[in-house]
Structures are given as structure tokens and as C-alpha cells.
Amino acid sequence: MSPNEVTDLVKATLLIRPSVQFFAPGGQNSGGGRNLLLISPTFAGKVASEAGKTLSFMPYAVVKAGVNSALSFQDNPYMESTARLAAVFSHRCRNMKPGMKVDRGAESSDKSWFNVARKNYKFYGFDLDMLIELHGIAAENGW
């Protein structure tokens, strides 16, 4: 796959990821809390199945990866790499402030976020190795 195709695949996975919300008990107004941060494999399987039917124009593997991105990597070590990447990027996007001025004496935005995410990888169910790699890339590029 070309880099552009990989990029589009990750973007599509990110787009599908919120679909979990629509199948959650109570829908979008289910309230906050840690319970909705990660979902169980059984629930993910059901959501993927229903979403696959609704999004029949998309490959099922992409839909499944999007839904699985809400799983914990620690409990599901065989989840798709696009799902793992989508989970990380989704959280990153929540805290991202484009054009943010980095103060003197502070680390760059991405480097800081990936390092903090490394400390919280169990809490969010991230793939630690992937975070280490992303942190290294951010550090090398000054992001």
C-alpha cells in the first residue's frame, strides 16, 4: 500500500470509530465517565456487525477496525494495527491545538502528548510500543 492509501485507511478508521457511540446504551446522551472510554470485545463484535450492515458500501475490515479501536490493547493484543493507531490519534486530536505556541522551556506539543500517553497507556488501552515509536518520531521531527 502506498503512504496515501495507508493515510486514507487510518482516516476512514478514525471516521468509523465514533459509531460505537450510536450503539451504546442511551446513545449519544449516555453521560460521561470512564465506562465509555473502552468497550468489551463482545460489545465491539455486535457493534461491528450492525455497523457493517449499515455501512455496506465500506469494506467490513475497515468498519471492524474502526469499532475495535475502542478496545483495550492490553486485553486484545491481536487487534488491528489501524485500530491501535486510530485509538492513539483519536485521543491526540482531542487535545490538539493547531498552531499552538510552544513556550520556552517546554517540550513540543506532540512529543509532550505522546510521552504523557506512554505513562497512561494502560488507562487508555494504548499499544505502548506504538507510542514509543510515535514519541521517537515526534522528537526527531521537533513536533
Partner 1 sequence: MKKRFISFLETVVTLAIVLVLLQTMTEDILVLSGASWTIRRVFLFTGFGFDLFFTMEFLIRSWNALYRRSFRQYITRENGWVDFAASIPLLIFTSGPALFSLLSGAVFAGSGALIGLLKVVKAVRMARVLRLLRLLKIFKRIRFADSVMVQRHTVRIVTTAASTLIFSVTIIGTVFALTDYPGTENAWMIDQSASIASLQERPDWAAGPDNAEVWGKSRPSVMMLKDNDWTLYARNTDNYFAEYFGPGDYAVRQAGSYTLWFDLKPSLVSQSKLNLTVFLSTMAVVLLIMVTYSPHFAITVSDPVNVMIRGLKEKSYNLEVSIPIEYPDDDIFRLGAAYNDEYLPLKERNNSEDAGGGALDISLDDISDLLET
- What is the C-alpha to C-alpha distance for residues 120 and 28, in angstroms, rounded to an integer? 25
Q: Helix 41-54 crosses helix 60-68 at what angle (to 10 degrees)?
A: 140
Residue 117 contacts residue 126 (beta carbons within 8 Å): yes
Nearer to partner 1, 81 or 120 (CB): 120
For the bound state, the minimum distance from the C-beta of residue 46 to partner 1, rounded and expressed in Å, comes to: 16
Task: Count CA within 13 A, CB hemisphere, residue 56.
Answer: 2
Site for partner 1 in 59-98 (CB under 8 A): 69-70, 87, 90-91, 93-95, 97
CA distances from 55 to 15, 26, 82, 83, 109 (A): 12, 21, 18, 17, 35
For the bound state, the minimum distance from the C-beta of residue 73 to partner 1, rounded and expressed in Å, comes to: 12
Q: In this chain, which of 1, 2, 32, 77 binds partner 1, going by CB under 8 A?
A: 32
The answer to the question of residue 27 lying near partner 1 (CB under 8 A) is no
For the bound state, the minimum distance from the C-beta of residue 36 to partner 1, rounded and expressed in Å, comes to: 3
Q: In this chain, which of 55, 58, 107, 139 binds partner 1, going by CB under 8 A?
A: 107
- What is the C-alpha to C-alpha distance for residues 16 and 103, in angstroms, rounded to an integer? 35
Write out the residues near partner 1 by the rule CB under 8 A. 4, 7-8, 11-12, 14-15, 17-18, 20-21, 24, 30-38, 69-70, 87, 90-91, 93-95, 97, 102-109, 111-113, 115-117, 119-120, 123-124
